[in-house]
Amino acid sequence: MIIQTKNISKRFGELIALDRVSFEVEKGEVVVIIGPSGSGKSSLLRCLNGLERVDSGEIIIDGIKLDKDKKSIHKVREEIGMVFQDFNLFPHLSVLGNLCLAQKVVRKRDEQTSEKTSLELLKKVGLLDKKNSFPSQLSGGQQQRVAIARALAMNPKIMLFDEPTSALDPEMIGEVLEVMKVLAQEGMTMLVVTHEIGFAREVADKIIFMDQGKIIEEGQTEVILNSPQNPRTIAFLSKVLK
């Protein structure tokens, strides 16, 4: 079990973002989390790498228990890469600079090693020719591919994707999903919050449906998509599959 959560809850004032959520992810599994907006999907991802702190419950990542201790949060973050909806590339650094920064200051790699890793990854996401460009010179799809490469440069064991294609123009969604498919085929453990049901059908091992901070239904991809049991899952899927 590379990810384990037990009864995690999180409130933002009055709003209950997560309500006693428990689930497990095996190494190499691709899990897609779906659900209406405000259902707690993003909060769940943010809790897993300590960007948000849970109010109660337990999170264990690759054997490390995530608690208030800063060292454990730090250790866990080194294991987990995260890709955001709005890319969050560093605008003052070139593409190469974006990829190299954390390798140098966190992993303490030297200039040469980090550059070599970066170039290999840029090749992988098909953006080697953009290594000296700045984020503002790239399209949304290109920026998101750089963001994926930047996270991969830290050699994470788990990748979290928080609606990676929601901010993209329709014609750019494909290129980002393509990169993610390759990653999944290579055996990366992935947690993906997305509305791309087609992607889920093709890549996901497991689907989790969330609503109002709770896991309503979870199971194998085909089972959830073809014969959902819970009325809320049925209602949601009938809307997104329309």
Measure the CA angle with vertex 62, ends 60 and 65; round to 5°. 30
Can you tell me the distance from the alpha carbon of 60 to that of 79, in angstroms, rounded to the nearest whole number?
A: 12
Contact range with other proteins by CB under 8 A, out of 13-21, 31-39, 97-105, 180-188: 97-105
Q: Does 13 bind other proteins (CB under 8 A)?
A: no
In the complex with other proteins, the residue whose CB is nearer, 91 or 170, is 91
Looking at the DSSP bridge assignments, the partners of residue 211 are 214
Measure the CA angle with vertex 81, ends 35 and 105; round to 5°. 150
Q: How far is the CB of 222 from other proteins (least distance, A)?
A: 32
CA nearest to 142, candidates 121, 127, 164: 127
Which residue, chain included where needed, has tokens 């590379």?
2
Amino acid (one-letter) located at 205: D
Q: How far is the CB of 231 from other proteins (least distance, A)?
A: 35
Of 48-67, binders to other proteins (CB under 8 A) are: 49, 51
Contact range with other proteins by CB under 8 A, out of 56-64, 121-129, 143-151, 181-189: 143-151
Mapped onto helix, strand or coil, the DSSP state of residue 194 is coil
Q: Does 88 bind other proteins (CB under 8 A)?
A: yes
- What is the contact surface with other proteins in residues (CB under 8 A)? 46, 49, 51, 74, 77-78, 80-82, 84, 86, 88-92, 101-102, 105-107, 134-137, 140, 143, 147, 150-151, 154
